[in-house]
Amino acid sequence: METTAREFNQNASKILAAAERGERITVTKNGRPVAILSPVTDEDSTDSGGEARPSSPAYPFRTDPMGDLDFPDLGGPALDNDEIEATLRGMGGVGISEDGDE
């Protein structure tokens, strides 16, 4: 199967499904091949000893914007989700009635 880069961009899920079914897809750009998409085999996902190969990260850098967050203990009470929601409901909508009128 052959597809253009534009077609791949617009129909990626269908093209990936074709690869999953075993098809080998050549992606072209301006009429010349730029990539080959092929199905993953059992050999691709295991090392020479038959052990599952660890997956490498998709990006060589962190993608979580904040990283691990370490919040300080401010000494306040520990609230469960219902208590937090009730507190937030009490803070919002100052001057707005329940039907949305001010």
Question: Residues with Cβ < 8 Å from 34, sequence gap 6 or more?
Answer: 5, 27, 28
Query: Taking phi first (over 0 means left), then psi (-120 to 50 degrees means alpha), and beta for anything else, what does residue 22 get?
Result: left
**pTM of the complete model:** 0.44
Residues 3-56 have pLDDT tens digits of: 999 999 999 999 999 998 999 999 999 999 999 999 887 776 666 666 666 666
Q: Tell me the residue type at 64.
A: D
Contacts of 58 (CB under 8 A, 6+ apart): none
Q: What is the pLDDT of residue 102?
A: 47
Which residues share a beta bridge with 3?
Answer: 27
Q: Which domains does the chain have, with CATH numbers?
A: 1-41 (3.40.1620.10)
